[in-house]
Structure 1
Amino acid sequence: MRKEAGERRNEILDAADELFGQKGFDGTSTNDILEKVGIARGTLYHHFKSKEEIMDALIERYSIRLLETAQKVAADKSVPVVDRIIRVVMSMNLSGGGSQEIMEHIHRPQNALMHQKIQKVVINSLTPILAEIICEGIEQGLFNTPFPYECMEMVVTYANTIFDDDMVQMTNEERATRIQAFIFNVERLLGVESGNLMSVIKMFGSNE
């Protein structure tokens, strides 16, 4: 039975995702993918010109899922504002839920453009989601800033670059200091008392 193009494409991506996880990106051949899906080489090349293009499509699909998750988390008003901010940021952490193969692929020097595209998606898509939660916090008297969107744009851009291991090399001690400084300044951007956002440190894991 002939399958719809979208269904076949997703089958290829699902198979590749599983194989990359098992054998690694370099250890997986196009033949492996062909055998797993049960299709001819011509069918594969109709959808993807190369293994690299399959990986690019996996990253794009993963990014879309991350954004959908972040939007769902942000919409849950039963969760307190600060906790929701933490959960939204953590849900967008590529390294937190993504395949190690995806992360390694993004950070290869030859994939700098792809890395940049992922960062652009995060900055442009996450900022408005967080800004809306900040506006809720302002209404509740938790925050005090006339620039909710701009504040979140600064926060997301900084976090997305400085805490990206590929951009800035840091020791654990330097990272811990950066995290403390980050929270210290976010509190001032949002007009809250010092120490009120220390729970935000959760999103950085236990490296501090």
Structure 2
Amino acid sequence: MRIIKNADVRRNEILDAAEALFNLIGFDATTISAIILKAGIARGTVYYHFKSKEDVLDALIERHCQRLLSEAKEIAANSSLPVMERLIQTLMAMNGDKEGAPSVITQQMHRPQNALMHQKTHQTMLEAIPPILMGIIEDGIKEGLFHTPYPYESLEMIVAHVNTVFDDYAEKLTEKELLSRIRAFIFNLERIFGAAPGSFDSVAVLFHTDCGVDE
């Protein structure tokens, strides 16, 4: 008896198979035929949902972003956590490479031929992240931890800066240059949000390093 599945279920099965193959043998080495075999579905089913392997990758990136944002929203809404802890945990949830090593999806986004895809991802995050963090910053203002008349605009500037400096060309920096930028980032976070010195030191954990802010 033929099993008929919901279209979204089929689509996610294809994406799951593709992601597994991309992680195992890489994007370039993966073929549509390999995805079909891995997912155990008909060729027509794949092409019903996706036009090409690049289209599959685009969908994977979109799903990846939505999962990160969904997890971040859940943490951001947990008002039982102290403001700074909630802020750091929310930011960590948005980090797609939590183990430090770039995922296949991250690697593909940084390839020159995927510049448009990378740009779309940046725009998605720039629009989605400030609203998620806004409630935390507002709570911090109420508690007297932050002092800024422009919380939302400040968040937009911070997200844009992170996307540019720490995402787009961090790999081109020496360790010394990267540490210097992390220290400068924390220094400016305190001033943008009107926070006490040292308030944002824990942000260093987001970069998988000890920036030595007290040195």
- Report the residue type matching 2:205 in the other structure: K
Structural RMSD (CA): 1.8
Question: What is aligned with 1:16?
Answer: 18
2:164 matched to which residue of 1?
Answer: 161
Alignment correspondent of 1:170: 173
Deviates more, 1:180-189 or 1:95-104: 95-104
Of residues 121, 138, 141, the one that matches 1:138 is: 141
| Counterpart residue type for residue 93 of structure 2 | S
Q: TM-score, normalised by structure 1?
A: 0.93
TM-score of the superposition, structure 2-length normalised?
0.90
Report the Cα distance in structure 1 between the residues aligned to 2:56 and 2:71, rounded to whole angstroms. 23
Shift of 1:4: 2.2
Distance 2:129 2:182 in 1: 19
- Structure 2 unmatched ranges of 5 or more: none
1:168 Cα offset (Å): 7.3
TM alignment of 1:114-125, pairs within 5 A:
114-125=117-128
**What is the aligned-residue identity percentage?**
50
Tell whether 2:43 aligns with 1:44. no
SS in 1 for 2:58: helix
| Paired AA for residue 131 in structure 1 | M
Structure 1 residues 114, 167: closer, same or farther in 2, change over 3 A?
farther
Aligned residue for 1:27, secondary structure, equals coil
Aligned length: 208
Runs (4 or more) in structure 1 with deviation over 3 Å come to 165-168
CA apart distance, 1:144 = 0.9
Contact 1:162–1:168 (8 Å) recurs in 2: no
Per-residue displacement from partner, 1:36-66 (whole Å, max 9, x unpaired)? 2222212211111111111111110111101
Matched residues in 1 for 2:197 and 2:6: separation? 56
Indicate if the aligned counterparts of 1:161 and 1:168 stay in contact, CA closer than 8 A.
no
Unaligned runs of 5+ in 1: none
Among 57, 61, 64, which residue is 2:63 paired with? 61
SS for the counterpart of 1:18 is: helix
